[in-house]
Structure 1
Amino acid sequence: MNEWLMDIGRFAAQLTILTLVLGIVIAVLARARSEAGSDRLRLRIEELNQRYEHRRRRLALAAAEPSLRKRLLKGFRRDDKQRFKASKEQAKPRATVWVLDFRGDIKASGVQRLAEEISAVLAAASDGDEVVLRLESPGGLVHAYGLAAAQVERLKEARLTVTVCVDKVAASGGYLMACAADQLRAAPFAVIGSIGVVAQLPNLHRLLKRHDIDVELLTAGEYKRTLTVFGENTDEGRDKFQSDLEHTHQLFKAHVARHRPGLDIEAVATGEIWYGRDALEKGMIDALGTSEAYLMSRLPQARVLSVRLEARNNLGGRLGMAVSNGIEAGLERILERLDAGRWEKK
């Protein structure tokens, strides 16, 4: 009798858990469906002046003796009142520094978001404002980064001062974007340059021929296809393909030379990369320094606003992102542990 009651209890518990799981799944799907038609991007704006001042005050309070903390708090309130009064009496408002971020992949997939962020800034910016673009990209597809560079040029056409800061890398298409700035700053060991064009593709023609497999390639237009993966490539096709690469390289060099007229373009357009300090000596950048240091230097003179369009994830998206982040963090810990193991004594 007792065993029978225990079996009934286990069945009821399992049924309850299954019902809860199904309810959660249905709720997630319903929430995702209701949010599918809503705006998936939201504009996030943060005033960096306030962020850093808040941190400074917290650290000052933490470092002060307990008996002095009340005096510090009174001083902070007095400073806030004076700052508010000074802002009301100012004849001309302070300039604004708008901070944007671009992290580029091979397809420059963030260019649409960057374009929308730039449109938002252009709608609100005033004369004398500055846009700081924190850029990180190793380059990628020519047409994608050409479009990204055109977005940077929109800011200059609107007569805004444009500063690009490179902390890690702006190479190839990344440098195509960066050189359009009024001022280009890079960290001492940031990777700069790679003014060149590269293309490669495999050719399986001989493999297919050994197995008696024919590939028919029909085109209309003399150069509709030059090199192919499956067909037999010709010297004429190779010459045309190389000519196209050279033409793209000339366009790249012309773009850089137009934005940085004092640069010896032939000396640097070799496809090589340089670290920040060497790039400064060659005239490829204007100054050394990190983006953080530059923004800190602008805080006393201007309001510094970080602007970013963020995805508005639904509940399902947030759950998926949490699982993905957990797996990624676990893999990173495993790789770090394996890497650290190389230095441990056996």
Structure 2
Amino acid sequence: MKPTITRLSTAVLISSTVLSTLVPAHSYAATYEGTVNTSILNVRSATSTTSDIVGKLTQGETVQVYTTNDTWAQIEFEGEKRYVSATYLTLKSTMTTASTTSTTSASAYKADANVNLRSSTSTSATVLTTIPKGATVTYISSHGATGSWMKVTYGKYTGYVVARYFTPSVPVETPYYANKTAVLYNSTGSGATKLATIPAGAKVTHLASLGATGSWFKIQYGTIVGYAPARNFSTSVLTPETTAPEVTTPYFSITNVALYNSSASGATKIATIPSGAQVEQIAMAGLSSSWFKIRYNGVTGYAA
């Protein structure tokens, strides 16, 4: 945990200004409208159930959502960015994304394993019945910020199931190609197991998009069905001549900054960026975009 404590305590930040003399940093707008689907929802100051409760939302209220993961959603609350449990928000996109395919396009789904049908969207909720592997259910609606639960009907029962255990009975099979070497996992969660490595240029079958922004694909590669980040695939074969250039944004450090090999706890320091140095921002990481993936002097890594 030492790298994390060091990074937080030194408060190293990457800014789009050099001592406030350059262009202001970008302001990011909310991209989702979330509707509260539980009676009372606590609004917290940080992504922890032990963090301060700064307010409460009631069922049916809507909020603007900036970003989500499987556990937390960052929302706008009384003019501030706050956090709520993602499970209790139903999202509606406020922007059109032509490439995102909803996992709810089919009305019939087939169970990929034996799955518990529960009375609510919680793994501690009452089990109404167990749906056997291969059985078909009728889809009603999706729940949770990432669509991680589905409300379905199975026989005489209506309840909730974990969405990742189901595949559309008649999947829309869209061909995609790996635009780089990609790893295929058995789930989209942390701690997922690697099933296969997909080489660059290989053809896969897209079965569904997952996550609030369609950031994960459920795909079939050969005879293996699994999950991989959507960013690693495109609908056309990319060659060295057609590969899209990496989009980067210039930023400048406002203090000496440590560059790490990842944004996770236990990361290794790989360089020190001096105050005033220019870097290239490649991507943002973290629920609140608290980390940048950057390039400095040819070295790519992560900094706060």
Q: TM-score under structure 2 normalisation?
A: 0.22
| Higher share in strand | 2
Higher RCO (CA-CA < 8 Å; seq separation 6+): 1
**TM-score normalised to structure 1 length:** 0.20
Whose radius of gyration is greater, 1 or 2?
1
